């Protein structure tokens, strides 16, 4: 019988001294209830905290052999913290989780059950899909988060409802093959974008995002990611998913407005032509009567061509990147196969060797 799969639970933390010990205890208590199905390790990344978070993580890990404490000397942001953990994790599956327990620990088991049952590469906990819900999330933050994810969903393939969320489960070998670069919260859309390039199977499960702050004694905490920065990040990620929406679609709209204005100009030129008998004079009369139609139409036409040109260039660059990324990932996987194959070749028994004299 093979042992249960090893799971790496990854929890980034920054200035969480007031809650970190208690919340890590809750996570470990839950993980102990699923040990019949999964072996586990808990990796906590202290991302350059300026309070006692690092010391508390060390104390917590010292008494538990399957809890690993990692530290950044300074705050490198979420993406770098996650990549640091990915490089040190040993699990067959990774689960990234929030230190504030805004998602309850039982989401870990649900994510793992889904990824093992569905053979997905990524499973996302989504409070915005049917069956998901939110509790006491501030109205402005909820509005911006929902619409940011709707924007990303409109640009990404697969009709996902939550692309910015961090609470996910990953197939570990697949995730390590993505060659992630982002250092901040943009790492979450980056993973989805690169996974879709490789046509990976991505699944969502309904989740409950709870901001009642039970774990902080009722005290409201500052968000680790500022709302304005998150919105800007989501907009940029949407551009990466589908750049034509930012150039070609506006270009076509401007083109229609330009053609409408030029159409009116042409109509007035045609109306003045019988009276003047000369095309140039008809244009002069129409221009004197409706100069704004010529200006709006001409400038709009130039802007439209510029936007459409940028759109086609952006789309072409995106296709080049996707092809190169797909090719690079394939080459990297093929390069690793001989190493794996060599490790499975049994050692030669000395008694099986043939001596030079034929014995």
Give the residue-averaged pLDDT of 39-53: 95
Answer whether 0.85 is exceeded by the pTM: no
Q: What is the DSSP string of 3-58?
A: PPPEEEEEEEESS-TTTHHHHHHHHHHHHHTTTTT-EEEEEEEEES-SSSHHHHHH
- Rounded to the nearest integer, the mean pLDDT of the chain is 81
% pLDDT > 90, the chain: 42
pLDDT-derived band of residue 94, with 50, 70 and 90 as boundaries? very high
pLDDT-derived band of residue 241, with 50, 70 and 90 as boundaries? low
CATH classification of 6-241 is 3.90.1170.50, yes or no?
A: no
**230 pLDDT above the threshold of 90:** no
Give the residue-averaged pLDDT of 302-311: 83
Give the residue-averaged pLDDT of 144-164: 76
Window from 44-58, 103-117, 262-276 with minimum mean pLDDT: 262-276
Domain ranges of the chain: 6-241, 244-339
Residue 40's nearest CA partner among 81, 106, 100, 92 is: 92
Give the residue-averaged pLDDT of 246-266: 83
Locus of tokens 């300026």: 50
**173 pLDDT above the threshold of 80:** yes
**348 pLDDT above the threshold of 60:** no
- Residue 286 is predicted with a pLDDT of 80
The DSSP bridge partners found for residue 67 are 42
């Amino acid at each position: 019988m093979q042992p249960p799969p090893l799971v790496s639970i990854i929890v980034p933390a920054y200035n969480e001294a007031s809650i970190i010990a208690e919340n890590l205890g809750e996570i470990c208590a839950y993980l102990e209830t699923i040990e019949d199905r999964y072996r586990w390790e808990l990796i906590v990344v202290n991302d350059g905290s300026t309070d006692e978070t690092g010391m508390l993580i060390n104390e917590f890990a010292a008494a538990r052999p399957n809890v690993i404490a990692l530290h950044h000397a300074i705050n490198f942001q979420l993406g770098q913290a996650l990549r640091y953990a990915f490089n040190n994790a040993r699990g067959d599956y990774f689960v990234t989780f929030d230190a504030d327990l805004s998602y309850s620990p039982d989401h870990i088991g649900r994510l793992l059950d889904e990824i093992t049952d569905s053979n997905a590469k990524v499973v996302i906990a989504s409070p915005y899909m049917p069956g998901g819900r939110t509790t006491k999330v501030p109205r402005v933050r909820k509005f911006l988060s929902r619409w940011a994810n709707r924007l990303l969903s409109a640009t990404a393939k697969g009709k996902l409802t939550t692309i910015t969320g961090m609470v996910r489960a990953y197939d570990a070998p697949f995730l390590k093959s993505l060659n992630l670069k982002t250092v901040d919260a943009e790492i979450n859309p980056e993973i989805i974008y690169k996974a879709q390039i490789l046509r990976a199977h991505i699944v969502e499960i309904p989740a409950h995002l709870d901001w009642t702050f039970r774990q902080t004694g009722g005290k409201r905490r500052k968000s680790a990611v500022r709302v304005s920065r998150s919105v800007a990040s989501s907009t940029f990620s949407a551009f990466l998913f589908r750049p034509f929406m930012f150039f070609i679609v506006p270009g076509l709209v401007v083109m229609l407005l330009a053609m409408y204005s030029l159409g009116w100009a042409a109509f007035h030129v045609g109306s003045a032509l019988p009276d003047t008998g000369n095309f140039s004079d008809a244009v002069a009369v129409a221009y004197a009567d409706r100069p704004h139609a010529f200006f709006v139409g001409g400038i709009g036409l130039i802007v439209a061509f510029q936007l459409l040109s940028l759109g086609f260039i952006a789309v072409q660059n995106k296709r080049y990147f996707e092809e190169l990324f797909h090719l690079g990932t394939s080459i990297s996987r093929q390069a690793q196969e001989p190493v794996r194959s060599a490790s499975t070749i049994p050692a030669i028994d000395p008694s099986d060797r043939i001596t030079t004299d034929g014995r």
